[in-house]
Amino acid sequence: MLDPRIAAAPQSSGITVIIVGLGIAGLTTAISCHLRGHTVIGFDKLENLEPYGGLGDGVTLAPNGTRVLREFGNGTVAEWMERWALTCTNCKVFDTSGNHIGQHPIPETDRGLALVPRGKLVQTLYEVAQELGLDLRLGVKITEYYEDHEHASVVVDGTRFKGDCILFADGANSKHRKIVSTRNVELHQSGFSVYRGKVEGEVVKKDPKCHWLLSGEMEKDVAKAFSGPNMYLVLATCGSGKACFCIAMSQNTRPLENAWTTPIDKEEVLKRVRGWKLEHQIRPIIEHMSKDQLINTPLVRAGALDSWVSPTGRIALIGDAAHPFFPTSAQGASQAIEDGATVAITLQLAGKRNIKLGLNAMMELRKHRATYIQHNAWRVNDEWFRSDQEERTGDKASPTPGVMDWIIDHCCQTYAWDEFDQVRECIETGIPYHPSNLPAECYEKATNFLEQGGHGLPF
């Protein structure tokens, strides 16, 4: 049975929420807001969401994210995620000489971990939103936005749409940071990019050269990581062999455009592993990835914003627009999901007459937690790539943070309900709010980082 604090609101809140951007963050927010009794109007520049589905882009959903999504669609989303559950028990890391040097951290599989095709997740959430009757408009461009103390609005194709607030969920390349923050509004290249690819499981099963990545009767998934001088590559099956994903973090010194949807030639990846002892394992998997199933995403960084909410209090940023993550964190999607679920609750509890309180309460509940997770992942990633290869052993074999129970076991919805009154009091009195959704030492690091200007570098 659902916690009654998490169940859908029984009646309309009277609040109209405008959402710009209908990826994972935007759709999660739209559905969560609807379930809390808010009216939703959503916009996305894509004419349809099919382009998401055609790309070989896998996304990790950690338990703190799947915990929210399980409630959607009367169990249909939970069933879909279960089919894509990642059932690996371990992921060994090998160096270029073929030596086993450590383990890639994976949470216990019974806690709700999934590795899913990003496009299919977006499509699944969109279908749930459609079934709920949400007003979602695709293929449109926002030409103007406005807020005052009474309402917020956007202009689309000459028509003004009014609401109580605007949530920008338009991704890492959002142009709207300047609305809410006085610092760190510009993105900069990180010097890293990530190759992401996908091949259907049936294709892998038919090629004996790929069978090393399969396990017996496919009751368990298999994952293996490869550590090179300037690249860290993971190959993993998911959904008991439904598909195989490639995720390769790479240093990149040449300037890159924002082109995450642009496919690349597989030779660009293969030349990076040429001469590696285990090239014979990597090559056949990559060779099966068609050109529309392999992409290179240039990774950007943005320093921590001093606020996610505008001074007037009717516009806020969520997801990667507020805190872009590296894929090595394995938390980008789940942190965006936490944003969406949290803001739906804080708006409900604040009420239509206190929209500014609702948005600022969301930020207070989320900001330190998201900031620490984001920047700690950057720190681990950067230290790994700066290190000598012989140092990359044991718990330093992977450029990813270890599994932290306080991250993946967190329920953001229960937390928002339990903490709202305290957050309200802190906002109204000006007393700093000390969140308990991260350890005290992590809160202290995040606080010091934010107070020192929140530059776009790790701690």
- DSSP type of residue 402: P
CB 58 within 8 A of CB 245: yes
CB 115 within 8 A of CB 86: yes
CB 37 within 8 A of CB 9: yes
CB 149 within 8 A of CB 55: no
Ordered alpha helix ranges (H), 351-411? 355-386, 405-408
CB 359 within 8 A of CB 343: yes
Tokens 């709207």 locate to 176
Tokens 């759709």 locate to 27
Structural tokens at position 190? 């990180």
C-alpha to C-alpha distances, 141 to 119, 136, 147, 155, 280, nearest whole angstrom: 21, 13, 18, 9, 47
CB 174 within 8 A of CB 321: yes
So which residues are the catalytic ones?
Answer: 196
Distance CA(182)–CA(426), nearest Å, equals 22
Structural tokens at position 60? 């990790």
Distance CA(246)–CA(235), nearest Å, equals 5
CB 348 within 8 A of CB 299: no
